[in-house]
Amino acid sequence: MSSKVVLSVVKCDAEKLQMLTQLISENFGFEVEIINETIESVEPVEPDEPVFIPQVSEGPVDMKLVSEILISAGIPVGIKGFRFLCEAIRLVIEQPDLMFYVTKGLYPAVAKCFDTSASKVERAIRHAIEVGWSREKMQKAINKMFGKEICAKHDKPTNCEFIALIKEKLFIDDITK
């Protein structure tokens, strides 16, 4: 069952109404129904799943710096997970709330950009992190970035932890460009 939004519109021209409907449908994935009646009262409805409403940060992300960080962490440029990580990091910087909806929000958003599935995105990112970790560069790179021991030798970060670490480093350094 898809989520549905019902709009009661009082004074709005057709063009603006179409634009509003399209924005809600494309950005939030809701089916939109417009009624021409005034709604007197609304019964609250609990959604089946949490509803993600993005928060957008200021300024675009310096993707060159993101790439340099991933390369320094030992992640090969030639694997899909590298590009997926770049996009995931860009998205969580621009929409910080995605970190709370990694499986239902972040992976599908990345997948949409690359015309693939969320499960393939998750697997490719996990593989990229495993490759970087096995080359023993990632632990050193993360610890060097923060100037202290963040990752111990046997503490390989999860996808979410790795993305959050890179995002926070970029946030600390204020890299929006």
- Domain borders along the chain are 1-48, 63-172
Q: Which amino acid is at 84?
A: F
How many other C-beta atoms are found inside a 10 Å radius of the C-beta of residue 138? 24
Rounded to two decimals, what is the model's pTM?
0.63
CATH number, domain 63-172: 1.10.10.10
How many Å apart are CA 70 and CA 57, to the nearest integer?
A: 22
How many Å apart are CA 144 and CA 10, to the nearest integer?
A: 58
Query: Would you state the structure tokens that stand for residue 89, as one six-digit string?
Result: 């990091």
Q: Average pLDDT of each block of 10 consecutive residues along the chain (177 residues)?
A: 63 73 70 64 56 48 84 89 94 90 93 94 95 79 68 78 87 64
Picking from 33, 126, 45, 138, the residue whose alpha carbon sits closest to that of residue 84 is 126
How many Å apart are CA 176 and CA 88, to the nearest integer?
A: 15
| CA-CA-CA-CA torsion sign (6, 7, 8, 13) | negative
Question: pLDDT digits over 68-112, tens only?
Answer: 888 888 889 999 999 999 999 999 988 888 999 999 999 999 999
Q: What integer pLDDT is reported at residue 163 of this predicted model?
A: 93
